[in-house]
Amino acid sequence: MFFKKQHIEKALAIKAGPSKIHGTGVFAKASFSPGAIIEKVPLILLDATERSRLQYTPLFDHYFLLDHAQTPVALALGMASLYKHAAIPNAAYTILLKKGLLVVKAIALINQDEEITINYHGNTGNKNDEATLY
């Protein structure tokens, strides 16, 4: 399911590039203060059958799990699926299911050219990263 009539804002202050963590990551083209919106992107919601098909595609490592029975998986557009994981991230994401949006905000000062990271396990802030895996 794709939400129609979404106002899509191009994120001008971020770019994709080689990550020291792994593969391709997202980097700041300008500084972000805590609380600043980095990116707001539409979601493509998938049902359980579609989720099972993802394992055979390159998208398998790039989806978000949702606590929603009808649409348990979302693919985020923009750069949202490229953010790398950190136990103590400098950004956090919120999924606004009714609006069909994923919003990424800075939770710490992010300097220009710094890699932007999120915690895949719900922003635990746990230095040992012992959150439950999905």
Tokens of 25: 């990551």
All structural domains of the chain, each given as residue ranges with its CATH number in brackets, are: 14-118 (2.170.270.10)
Decide: pTM greater than 0.95: no
117 φ, ψ to 5°?
-125, 155
Is 120:85 a contact under the CB 8 Å cutoff?
yes
> Under 8 Å CB-to-CB from 66, ≥6 apart: which residues?
45, 72, 73, 74, 95, 97
* pLDDT tens for each residue of the chain, 134 residues long: 455 555 566 678 999 999 999 999 999 999 999 999 999 999 888 877 766 677 777 666 666 767 656 667 788 888 988 999 999 999 999 888 888 888 999 999 999 999 999 998 864 444 443 332 22
- Report how far residue 120's alpha carbon sits from residue 134's, in angstroms, rounded to the nearest whole number: 9
Helix, strand, or coil here: 100?
coil
